[in-house]
């Protein structure tokens, strides 16, 4: 890379990809070619930078200039100004919302300041399609170290000492899991990477695989060495074409470099990886269901024990870990268990990746140390609530998690605290809600998801969640009674208590946590037939305030069902019978004349 | 169920796919993925052929096809429209966008317009939460879609 | 064996390692209710998906409740099966199941025999607190089985029977979540599936989701029609099980009472399928000897082994699954279908009754028989040889409807001539019975010697696949036996692969043979009932004065008067059949 003066890192994560980052990359390449700068400037497509809100992102190295919301039309200017004239394109720099100052280096942005990147260490730094860039950042060094210097037992000891717990949701100690699988005697064992991320509103695993696939492959090989498996399987959503593509490229390159396959690094250790595709079933995140799906069966979970570590894929001992868990492994081996264990809280070590989304200013992928508070995440990293609305709740753990409120803002985030607060870590979805979100409707949203995703095997999950959903529907339609709230609570408890797998055992969490934290709102729905957030259509009416209406007819022209009548320059009226409560009128009204009752 | 004749060429392609997986039962889901790639959907005939090739019962194949939401037995439209109903998109108003698509296209989720041009489906999180709410038409991603913008998106494909 | 100590409801329990909580509890008189759990002990049939969650119990130290049917006991475990948490959970789960189940008990075919109903009764459910949508599906009526899967509770027993035990593959769990249900491919009718109508799904279904097609109304109409002469034939296994419908102990032989009841129902002649079973032995046994002799003489065109063909579920199975082997099974019809033409063409003619006016009803332990008698090849100008086939259960209902106090009936005898039978035919109802009966006759015909000991103990038992070598006076005859279609498939695949060298194989579709047939009184997973029925048939055999088919005087007369000899042209015309390739798919034509 001798003569190269500039590296342009273009984000190829899904969010930026969706905003044409691919075309931007091509445009840069063409422009560079046209100017004959190939030897000085290199364009690299990286994985997700995390700051999706400001995408597409282009980062200039070595000066760390971080351009945001880059459009195709901006490419020429960036090249002309930044590269040729050496002047930053100020208008594309991040603007500190507080001070209005332009910030050029990402490490000075609030969004990045509190983050510690372990699992995401390479995302946004390297070209995921080039193994050499991974190797240049200590890639496969951990595998080499393990194979040449450490016994499987010693490696497992490091993992145990590091305190790493499963990042897929359950939080089971990773080293212990490996040790259990290692202890089972068998002629064949498997290690599996669970990349069937199904939480609606989470894209951590996808981003790691898209941004740094080799870290997962390396960790799987280390896992194979420790547990005694020579075969790894990545179970990945078929809906993640980019991740699949990059994983395939990474596997091919790793094989070419002798880092997968027979006799790895000449140590006699054999290990290779295959891809298995999920086909759209959230329950397949559960490890027994995942294994059945890999076997070509319906992804129904089975009762544990036997655990996969005893009898898993094809009846053989199988160790299942999730993508983010794997992504931590090489760093732990390289930097040591003590280094890792210094980060985080007493029982939750290291960092956690969250997909921060919802009513928040800085939507994106973040990695924070365990023990950080929700307040720091939401107000510092996340930049606070969008449009200066009031914070109401944050949901962690997706449909399995609970809604946390203002009172939880200063709770340090770790596995145990989240459970104590009625939620869970889950895989890392973190959805922020504001005053305009109805908590009953949110609970209903999650239940609808669970009802659609329940496999149907056990009765509490198959029928119970449906009944929960129906009761919530009844309440949001204004037909609920106070007794329904007791029924909701009891049924939720029984579903948790009796369901076969983790899906059903956690599916009532959104109901229970919202009942606990927002009981008033439920009571309002039930007793006053009122939805304070204005989300439950059956409980609200759009009304035209005669004082403000000037009769501009804009609302009437935009009403999709012609429910608004009124002569020009006369006060308009909404026919409540016809109104479908889409809200188009209110959005269009320039005179604040429409309100919700 | 209407009887659909499979083209000889595609049928051979399907059998070759089965063979490439050594006609192994355990590869059923992989085979179905490929089959859906060939035919665009998984009609009963295709499932019967796969059942024969892999030596599993048709009922079993059907049991798999109906379990996984990725598999479909109805042909998708020329331009499949998918609305992300992940939580991030939901709290940013994806439901209204969905309603508008239903209204404009005059079809329900899971249906295809009579002219075969559009089909409508929902999906969960495409990982572009920064752009919420997100709509996919084919491979193309539309971000920050408002109900107002729906007509324009549809119009793009109607010319 | 390593033992594990634990306490259940405070009681100390010591059981073998690997025992489930459910079974451990049973040893100390604690009967934890179950619903999806099902087993036929000693027959390798077990269903414990852990899906219904009715059997949940509290295990100290565990976060959630544990299903007793699948949770293995651990040293020092403290289990509570009836505290308030458990009782509330169990009841709520049941209420949920009931909230998605049609409340049609009054008119449901399964009423009184429904495990869901008994459970609701046991737990004292008096109202269903959850209202909401119910999962509904299209009702499907096939020639033998009705699927009313609105009543399916996803216990998966039928799926297990159809796939794991029978390897028929007609059923699978389909859809997901609330709409998940067990159904044939594309949720089409069973008739379009490879279903063999063995009825094992029906015999294990805990609710009314799977029941037989009830033909008793047709029989009542025929009995009421003065222009019709109605004759009835009763299969061997019926007499060993019918008593259960009237509260008698399993294994009680009710042959005489059954005859008396049928007579009171108004049947003009009460005959015995056993007679036709003796006839089957004459034909099938002769076919065996014919093929065997030719084979021993070096005739390479002879196909061996010969496979029995008296089980209609089995016939359906090989027509669907082994189309390349249609020439191996015996061409002899089943006893039911041999009885039909003999009744209509021989007995009817003797009576002077036209076949259209002679109605033949069969009482069968079987549901496949319903389909069998509707087969086109068993009709003459549209008139079936056997008009209606009723299951043992349907006969039980019919007797109750006719106000007959079954248990106080006197024993009566079958009518002549088609009511006379031998001990050989009685054991047709047991696995191994047909081949034992065949051996009794074939031995004497082949060797010309008298068989001193008629019992072939080596052919008996409940092992799924058995084999024995019978000494035919110097000729070692290799015999294979399979019951349950999954076992049959194994034997067949062995033949295909040239792995076994049997001369003759007996196959019965149902576990245990006809005594475990799909039309028998519900055994609810009690394998002792099946064993007692089997023992009853062997008892009946032992008590018979004649125990070899070829010694049945009316069989001898039938050949002399009407058929000539076994395998004669007339026999071929009336008593033999041929098979069809049914392997083609519904949508793809090869």
Partners of B33 on chain A (C-beta within 8 Å) are 238, 277, 279
Distance CA A395, CA A357 (A): 10
Distance CA C326, CA C312 (A): 14
| B83 shares a domain with B47 | no
A-contacting residues of C 38-67, CB under 8 Å? 49-54, 56, 64-65, 67
Q: Does C88 touch chain A (CB under 8 A)?
A: yes
Domain that holds residue B141: 79-158
Q: Does B2 touch chain C (CB under 8 A)?
A: no
Contact yes or no for A86/A71 (Cβ under 8 A): no
Return the pLDDT at A1. Answer: 41
Nearest to C212 by CA among C318, C365, C362, C107: C365
| B150 shares a domain with B90 | yes
pTM of the model: 0.94
Q: How confident is the model at residue C18 (pLDDT cuts 50, 70, 90)?
A: very high
Whole-number average pLDDT of chain C: 95
Contact yes or no for C97/C52 (Cβ under 8 A): yes
Whether residue B67 and residue C171 make contact (CB cut-off 8 A), yes or no, is: no
Task: Look up residue A301 and give its two tokens.
Answer: 């979970």
Q: Is C234 helix (H, G, I), strand (E, B) or coil?
A: strand
Please report whether residue A38 resides in a domain: yes
Q: Does C21 touch chain A (CB under 8 A)?
A: no
Quote the number of domains for chain A: 5
Per-residue pLDDT at B159 exceeds 80: no
CATH number assigned to the domain comprising residue A581: 3.30.70.20
| A416 shares a domain with A318 | no
Domain that holds residue A567: 541-596
Indicate if the alpha-carbon torsion angle C372, C376, C381, C382 is positive or negative: positive
Residue A1 burial by Cβ neighbours in a 10 Å radius (0-12, 13-18, 19+):
exposed
Task: Look up residue C95 and give its two tokens.
Answer: 């209420």
Q: Does A355 touch chain B (CB under 8 A)?
A: yes
A-contacting residues of C 253-272, CB under 8 Å? none
The residue out of A392, A417, A434 marking a domain boundary is A434
Return the pLDDT at B3. Answer: 56
Q: Does C178 touch chain A (CB under 8 A)?
A: yes
Contact yes or no for A156/A309 (Cβ under 8 A): no
Contact yes or no for A59/A106 (Cβ under 8 A): yes
Please report whether residue B87 resides in a domain: yes
- The residue annotated as part of the active site, out of C198, C205, C310, C366, is C310
pLDDT digits (tens, 9 = 90+) for B40-81: 999 999 999 999 999 999 999 999 999 999 999 988 899 999
Q: How confident is the model at residue A129 (pLDDT cuts 50, 70, 90)?
A: very high
Average pLDDT estimate for A402-421: 93
Return the pLDDT at B4. Answer: 65
pLDDT digits (tens, 9 = 90+) for A172-215: 999 999 999 999 999 999 999 999 888 877 888 988 999 999 99
Please report whether residue B74 resides in a domain: no
| A412 shares a domain with A362 | yes
The secondary structure of C291-336 as a DSSP string is HHHHHHTT-TT---SEE----HHHHHHHHHH-GGGTTSB--BPPHH
Q: How far is A532 from chain B (nearest CA, A)?
A: 16
CATH number assigned to the domain comprising residue A33: 3.40.30.10
Q: Where are the alpha helices (DSSP H) in C73-215?
A: 84-99, 115-122, 157-160, 200-204
Look-up of token digits 């969960």: B124
Please report whether residue A355 resides in a domain: yes
| A326 shares a domain with A355 | no
Closest alpha carbon within chain C to B57: C169
Instruction: Point out which residues pair with A43 in neighbouring strands.
Output: A8
Q: Which residues contact A213 (CB under 8 A, 6 or more apart)?
A: A128, A243, A246, A247, A249, A250
A13 alpha-carbon distance from chain centroid: 13
Cβ atoms within 10 Å, residue A569:
10
Residue C565 burial by Cβ neighbours in a 10 Å radius (0-12, 13-18, 19+):
exposed
Is there a catalytic annotation at residue C115?
no
Q: How far is C73 from chain A (nearest CA, A)?
A: 11
Q: How confident is the model at residue C364 (pLDDT cuts 50, 70, 90)?
A: very high
Return the pLDDT at C590. Answer: 45
Return the pLDDT at C589. Answer: 53
| B154 shares a domain with B83 | yes
Whether residue C587 and residue B48 make contact (CB cut-off 8 A), yes or no, is: yes
- Which DSSP helix (H) or strand (E) runs through A191? strand A190-195
| B7 or C562: which leads in pLDDT | C562
Return the pLDDT at B1. Answer: 45
| A139 shares a domain with A168 | yes
Q: Compare CB distances from B3 to C173, C186, C587 and report the shortest one's residue.
A: C587
| B146 shares a domain with B88 | yes
Q: Which residues contact A585 (CB under 8 A, 6 or more apart)?
A: A542, A555, A556, A558, A559, A564, A574, A594
- The residue annotated as part of the active site, out of C257, C333, C369, C370, is C369
Quote the number of domains for chain B: 2
DSSP-derived pairing of the beta strands A564-565 and A573-574 = antiparallel
DSSP-derived pairing of the beta strands B118-123 and B79-84 = parallel
Whether residue A452 and residue C177 make contact (CB cut-off 8 A), yes or no, is: yes
Please report whether residue A346 resides in a domain: no
| B97 shares a domain with B52 | no
Contact yes or no for A334/A142 (Cβ under 8 A): yes
Whether residue C172 and residue B1 make contact (CB cut-off 8 A), yes or no, is: no
Instruction: Point out which residues pair with A66 in neighbouring strands.
Output: A59
Q: How confident is the model at residue C582 (pLDDT cuts 50, 70, 90)?
A: very high
Q: Does C585 touch chain B (CB under 8 A)?
A: yes
Q: Which residues contact B102 (CB under 8 A, 6 or more apart)?
A: B108, B109, B120
| A512 shares a domain with A495 | yes
pLDDT digits (tens, 9 = 90+) for A267-312: 999 999 999 999 989 999 999 999 999 999 999 999 988 999 999 9
Whole-number average pLDDT of chain A: 93
Nearest to A293 by CA among A285, A284, A280: A284
Please report whether residue B130 resides in a domain: yes
Q: How confident is the model at residue C500 (pLDDT cuts 50, 70, 90)?
A: confident
Per-residue pLDDT at A333 exceeds 90: yes
Q: Compare CB distances from C53 to A451, A458, A466 and report the shortest one's residue.
A: A458
CATH number assigned to the domain comprising residue A490: 1.20.1440.230
What residues in chain A have their Cβ under 8 A from chain C's Cβ atoms?
281, 298, 300, 302-303, 305, 451-460, 462-464, 466-467, 470, 487, 490-491, 494, 496-500, 505
CB pairs under 8 A between B and C: 66
Distance CA A251, CA A240 (A): 16
- Name chain C's partners: 3 or more CB pairs within 8 A: A, B
Whole-number average pLDDT of chain B: 90
| A456 shares a domain with A426 | no
Q: Compare CB distances from C193 to B52, B59, B69 and report the shortest one's residue.
A: B59
Per-residue pLDDT at A2 exceeds 60: no
pLDDT digits (tens, 9 = 90+) for C30-48: 999 999 999 998 888 999 9
Q: Does C171 touch chain A (CB under 8 A)?
A: no
Q: Collect contacts of A132-139 with beta carbons under 8 A, ≥24 apart.
A: A133/A44, A134/A212, A134/A214, A134/A215, A135/A257, A138/A330, A138/A334, A139/A214, A139/A215, A139/A218, A139/A330
The residue out of A106, A122, A140 marking a domain boundary is A106
Q: How far is C187 from chain B (nearest CA, A)?
A: 9
ipTM of predicted complex: 0.94
The residue out of A380, A405, A434 marking a domain boundary is A434
Return the pLDDT at B2. Answer: 47
Q: How confident is the model at residue A535 (pLDDT cuts 50, 70, 90)?
A: confident
Please report whether residue A39 resides in a domain: yes
| A497 shares a domain with A415 | no
Please report whether residue B3 resides in a domain: no
Whether residue A582 and residue B147 make contact (CB cut-off 8 A), yes or no, is: yes
Tell me the backbone φ, ψ of residue C429, rounded to 5 degrees. -75, -15
Please report whether residue B21 resides in a domain: yes
- The residue annotated as part of the active site, out of C283, C514, C527, C571, is C514
Task: Look up residue A497 and give its two tokens.
Answer: 């208590």
Q: Which domains does chain C have, with CATH numbers?
A: 3-82 (3.10.20.740), 98-213 (3.30.70.20), 217-575 (3.40.50.1780)
Contact yes or no for C210/C146 (Cβ under 8 A): yes
Closest alpha carbon within chain C to B58: C185
Distance CA A445, CA A40 (A): 52
Whether residue B70 and residue A238 make contact (CB cut-off 8 A), yes or no, is: yes
Per-residue pLDDT at A83 exceeds 80: yes
Please report whether residue B72 resides in a domain: no
| B60 shares a domain with B86 | no
Q: CA separation (Å) from C238 to C144, C368, C407, C455, C557?
A: 18, 15, 16, 22, 26
pLDDT digits (tens, 9 = 90+) for A455-482: 999 999 999 999 999 999 999 999 999 9
Is there a catalytic annotation at residue C514?
yes
Return the pLDDT at A200. Answer: 79
Per-residue pLDDT at A354 exceeds 70: yes
Q: Which residues contact A499 (CB under 8 A, 6 or more apart)?
A: A458, A460, A461, A464, A505, A507, C53, C64
pLDDT digits (tens, 9 = 90+) for A540-595: 889 999 999 999 999 999 888 899 999 999 999 999 888 888 888 888 899 999 98
- The residue annotated as part of the active site, out of C142, C286, C309, C330, is C330
Return the pLDDT at A441. Answer: 94
Distance CA C204, CA C161 (A): 8
pLDDT digits (tens, 9 = 90+) for C94-143: 999 999 999 999 999 999 999 999 999 999 999 999 999 999 999 999 99
Task: Look up residue B29 and give its two tokens.
Answer: 């889901």
| B54 shares a domain with B91 | no
Is there a catalytic annotation at residue C319?
no
Nearest to B56 by CA among C172, C270, A80, C466: C172
Distance CA A22, CA A18 (A): 9
Please report whether residue B1 resides in a domain: no
Q: How confident is the model at residue C303 (pLDDT cuts 50, 70, 90)?
A: confident
Q: What is the number of H-type helices and E-type strands within chain C?
A: 19, 22
Average pLDDT estimate for C177-195: 96
| A447 shares a domain with A323 | no
Whether residue C178 and residue A451 make contact (CB cut-off 8 A), yes or no, is: yes
| A313 shares a domain with A212 | yes
Whether residue B44 and residue C185 make contact (CB cut-off 8 A), yes or no, is: yes
Please report whether residue A345 resides in a domain: no
Q: How far is B151 from chain A (nearest CA, A)?
A: 12
Partners of C178 on chain A (C-beta within 8 Å) are 451, 454, 456, 462-463, 466
CATH number assigned to the domain comprising residue B102: 3.40.30.10
Distance CA A409, CA A393 (A): 9
Contact yes or no for B14/B35 (Cβ under 8 A): yes
């Amino acid at each position: 890379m001798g003569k190269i003066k500039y590296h342009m890192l273009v984000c190829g994560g899904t969010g930026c990809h969706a905003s044409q980052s691919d075309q931007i990359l091509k445009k840069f390449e063409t422009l560079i070619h046209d100017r004959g700068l190939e030897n000085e400037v290199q364009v690299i497509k990286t994985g997700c930078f995390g700051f999706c809100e400001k995408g597409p992102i282009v980062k200039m190295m070595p000066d760390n200039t971080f351009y945001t919301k880059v459009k195709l039309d901006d490419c020429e200017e960036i090249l002309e100004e930044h590269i040729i004239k050496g002047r930053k394109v100020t208008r594309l720099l991040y603007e500190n919302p507080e001070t209005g100052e332009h910030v050029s280096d990402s490490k000075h942005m609030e969004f990045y300041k509190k983050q510690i990147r372990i699992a995401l260490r390479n995302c946004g730094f390297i070209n995921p399609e080039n193994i050499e860039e991974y190797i240049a950042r200590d890639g496969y060094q951990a595998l080499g170290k393990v194979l040449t210097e450490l016994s499987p037992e010693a490696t497992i000891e490091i993992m145990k000492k590091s305190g790493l717990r499963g990042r897929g949701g359950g939080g089971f100690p990773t080293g212990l899991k490996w040790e259990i699988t290692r202890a089972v005697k068998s002629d064949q064992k498997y290690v599996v990477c669970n990349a069937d991320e199904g939480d609606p509103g989470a894209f951590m695993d996808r981003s790691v695989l898209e941004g740094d696939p080799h870290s997962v492959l390396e960790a799987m090989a280390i896992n194979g060495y420790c547990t005694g498996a020579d075969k790894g399987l990545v179970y990945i959503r078929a809906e993640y074409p980019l991740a699949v593509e990059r994983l395939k490229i990474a596997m091919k390159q790793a094989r070419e470099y002798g880092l997968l396959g027979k006799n790895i690094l000449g140590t006699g250790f054999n290990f290779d990886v295959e891809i298995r595709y999920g086909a759209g079933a959230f329950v397949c995140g559960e490890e027994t269901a995942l294994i059945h799906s890999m076997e070509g069966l319906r992804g129904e979970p089975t009762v544990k024990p036997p655990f996969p570590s005893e009898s898993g894929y094809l009846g053989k001992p199988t160790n299942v870990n999730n993508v983010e868990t794997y992504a931590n492994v090489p760093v732990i081996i390289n930097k040591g268990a003590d280094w890792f264990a210094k980060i985080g809280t007493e029982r939750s070590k290291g960092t956690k990746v969250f997909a921060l989304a919802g009513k928040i200013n800085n939507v994106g992928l973040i990695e924070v140390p365990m023990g950080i508070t929700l307040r720091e995440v939401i107000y510092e990293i996340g930049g606070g609530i969008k449009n200066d609305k009031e914070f109401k709740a944050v949901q962690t753990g997706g449909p399995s998690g609970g809604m946390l409120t203002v009172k939880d803002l200063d709770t340090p985030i770790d596995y145990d605290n989240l459970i104590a607060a009625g939620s869970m870590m889950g895989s890392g979805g973190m959805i922020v809600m504001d005053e305009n979100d109805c908590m009953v409707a949110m609970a209903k949203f999650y239940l609808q998801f669970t009802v659609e995703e329940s496999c149907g095997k056990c009765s509490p999950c198959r029928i119970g969640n449906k009944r929960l959903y129906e009761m919530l529907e009844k309440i949001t339609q204004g037909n609920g009674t106070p007794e329904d709230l007791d029924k909701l609570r009891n049924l939720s408890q029984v579903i948790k208590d009796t369901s076969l797998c983790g899906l059903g055992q956690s599916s009532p969490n959104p109901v229970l946590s919202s009942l606990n934290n927002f009981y008033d709102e439920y009571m309002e729905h039930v007793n006053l037939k009122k939805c304070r957030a204005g989300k439950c259509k059956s409980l609200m009416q759009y009304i035209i305030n005669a004082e403000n209406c000037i009769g501009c007819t804009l609302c009437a022209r935009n009403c999709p069902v012609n429910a608004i009548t009124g002569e020009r320059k006369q006060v308009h009226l909404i026919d409540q019978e016809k109104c479908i409560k889409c809200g188009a009128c209110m959005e269009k009204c320039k005179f604040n004349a429409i309100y919700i009752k | 169920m209407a009887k659909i004749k499979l083209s000889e060429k595609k049928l051979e392609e399907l059998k070759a796919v089965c063979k490439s997986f050594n006609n192994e039962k355990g590869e059923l889901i992989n085979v179905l993925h490929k089959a859906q790639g060939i035919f665009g959907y998984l009609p009963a005939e295709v499932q019967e052929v796969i059942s024969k090739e892999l030596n599993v019962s048709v009922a079993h194949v059907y049991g798999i096809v109906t379990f996984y939401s990725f598999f479909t037995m109805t042909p998708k439209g020329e331009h499949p429209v998918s609305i992300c109903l992940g939580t991030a998109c939901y709290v940013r108003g994806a439901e209204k966008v969905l309603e508008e698509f239903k209204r404009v296209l005059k079809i329900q989720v899971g249906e295809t317009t009579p002219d075969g041009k559009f089909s409508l489906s929902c999906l969960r999180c495409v990982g572009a939460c920064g752009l919420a709410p997100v709509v996919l038409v084919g491979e193309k991603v539309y971000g920050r879609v408002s109900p107002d913008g729906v007509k324009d998106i549809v119009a793009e494909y109607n010319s | 064996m390593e033992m594990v100590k634990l306490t259940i409801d405070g009681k100390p329990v010591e059981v073998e390692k690997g025992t489930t909580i459910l079974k451990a509890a049973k040893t100390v008189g604690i009967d934890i209710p179950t619903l999806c759990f099902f087993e036929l002990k000693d027959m390798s049939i077990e269903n414990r998906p852990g899906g219904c969650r009715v059997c949940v119990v509290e295990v100290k130290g565990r976060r959630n409740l544990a299903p007793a049917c699948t949770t293995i006991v651990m040293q020092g475990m403290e289990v509570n099966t009836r505290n308030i948490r458990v009782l509330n959970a169990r009841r709520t789960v049941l209420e949920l199941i009931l909230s998605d189940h049609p409340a049609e008990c009054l008119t449901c075919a399964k009423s009184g025999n429904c495990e869901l109903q008994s459970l609701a009764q046991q737990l004292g459910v008096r109202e269903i607190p959850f209202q909401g949508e119910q999962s509904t599906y299209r009702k499907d009526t096939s020639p033998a089985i009705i699927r009313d899967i609105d009543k399916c509770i996803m216990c998966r027993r039928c799926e297990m029977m159809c796939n794991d035990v029978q390897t028929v593959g007609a059923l699978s769990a389909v859809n997901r979540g609330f709409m998940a249900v067990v159904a044939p491919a594309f949720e089409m009718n069973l008739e379009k599936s490879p279903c063999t109508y063995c009825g094992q799904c029906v015999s294990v279904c805990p609710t009314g989701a799977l029941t037989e097609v009830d033909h008793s109304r047709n029989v009542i109409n025929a009995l009421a029609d003065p222009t019709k002469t109605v004759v009835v034939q009763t299969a061997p296994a019926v007499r060993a099980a019918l008593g259960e419908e009237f509260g008698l102990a399993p294994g009680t032989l009710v042959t005489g009472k059954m005859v008396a009841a049928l007579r009171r129902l108004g049947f003009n002649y009460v005959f015995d399928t056993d007679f036709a079973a003796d006839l089957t032995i004459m034909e099938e046994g002769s076919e065996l000897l014919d093929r065997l002799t030719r084979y021993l003489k070096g005739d390479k065109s002879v196909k061996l082994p010969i496979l029995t063909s008296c089980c209609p579920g089995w016939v359906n199975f090989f027509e669907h699954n082994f189309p390349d082997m249609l020439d191996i099974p015996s061409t002899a019809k089943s006893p039911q279908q041999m009885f039909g033409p003999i009744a209509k063409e021989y007995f009817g003619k003797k009576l002077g009754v036209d076949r259209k006016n002679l109605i033949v009803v069969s009482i069968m332990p079987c549901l496949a028989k319903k389909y069998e008698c509707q087969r086109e090849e068993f009709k003459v100008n549209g008139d079936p040889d056997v008009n209606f086939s009723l299951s043992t259960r349907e006969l039980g209902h019919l007797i109750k409807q006719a106000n007959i106090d079954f248990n106080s009936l006197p024993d009566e005898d079958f009518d002549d001539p088609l009511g006379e039978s031998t001990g050989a035919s009685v054991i047709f109802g047991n696995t191994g019975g047909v081949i034992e009966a065949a051996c009794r006759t074939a031995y004497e015909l082949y060797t010309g010697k008298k068989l001193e000991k008629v019992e072939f103990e080596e052919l008996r038992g409940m092992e799924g696949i058995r084999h024995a070598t019978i000494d035919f006076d110097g000729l070692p005859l290799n015999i294979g036996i399979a019951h349950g279609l999954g076992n049959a498939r194994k034997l067949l695949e062995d033949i295909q692969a040239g792995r076994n060298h049997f001369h003759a194989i007996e196959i019965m579709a149902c576990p245990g043979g006809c005594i475990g047939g799909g039309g028998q009184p519900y055994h609810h997973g009690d394998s002792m009932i099946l064993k007692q029925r089997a023992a009853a048939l062997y008892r009946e055999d032992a008590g018979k004065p004649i125990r070899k088919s070829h010694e049945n005087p009316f069989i001898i007369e039938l050949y002399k008067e009407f058929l000539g000899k076994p395998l004669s042209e007339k026999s071929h015309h009336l008593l033999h059949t041929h098979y069809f390739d049914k392997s083609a798919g519904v949508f793809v034509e090869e």
